[in-house]
Structure formats: C-alpha cells, structure tokens
Amino acid sequence: MMHILLIEKDIALGEALLIGLQHHYNVEWVRRLGDASTFMDAQQTDLVLLDLKDIVSQLLRL
C-alpha cells in the first residue's frame, strides 16, 4: 500500500484529508516540517502532500 506523508498545520483540513485518504493509503499526518523530516528518515514515503505557502513561511523563520 502506498505511504503518504501529509504536512498540514490546519487541524480541520488535516483531519478531512486524513479521513478521505486513509481508506486507500497509509497516511501519516504531521503539522510541522521538522516532524516530517523525522518521519521520512524512519519510513519510506511514496508521496508528500503539503501546502507550499506554509512550508516557505516556516523556512523563512529559520
């Protein structure tokens, strides 16, 4: 089964996507970019779904 990493800080949107995807895929949902890195180091990921605007704003804060 395909492993999807969902990176979404908005709880309502993250929950909706998780519910919609988890019936057909293994989905891991994280709310922070740092958590995504940890997950990707530990498990094979076939697809990453993310909001680029959120990621860019997090990177600019580093």
Tens of pLDDT, residues 18-57: 999 999 999 999 998 888 888 888 888 999 998 887 667 7
Domain extent listing, the chain: 3-61
Under 8 Å CB-to-CB from 29, ≥6 apart: which residues? 6, 8, 14, 17, 18
Q: Which CATH architecture has domain 3-61?
A: 3-Layer(aba) Sandwich (3.40)
pTM of the model: 0.79
pLDDT band for position 7 (50/70/90)? Answer: very high
Run of H or E residues at 27: strand 26-30
Q: State the pLDDT at residue 53.
A: 77
Q: Could you tell me which of 39, 40, 32 has the C-alpha nearest to residue 11?
A: 32
pLDDT band for position 58 (50/70/90)? Answer: low
pLDDT, greater one: 60 or 44: 44
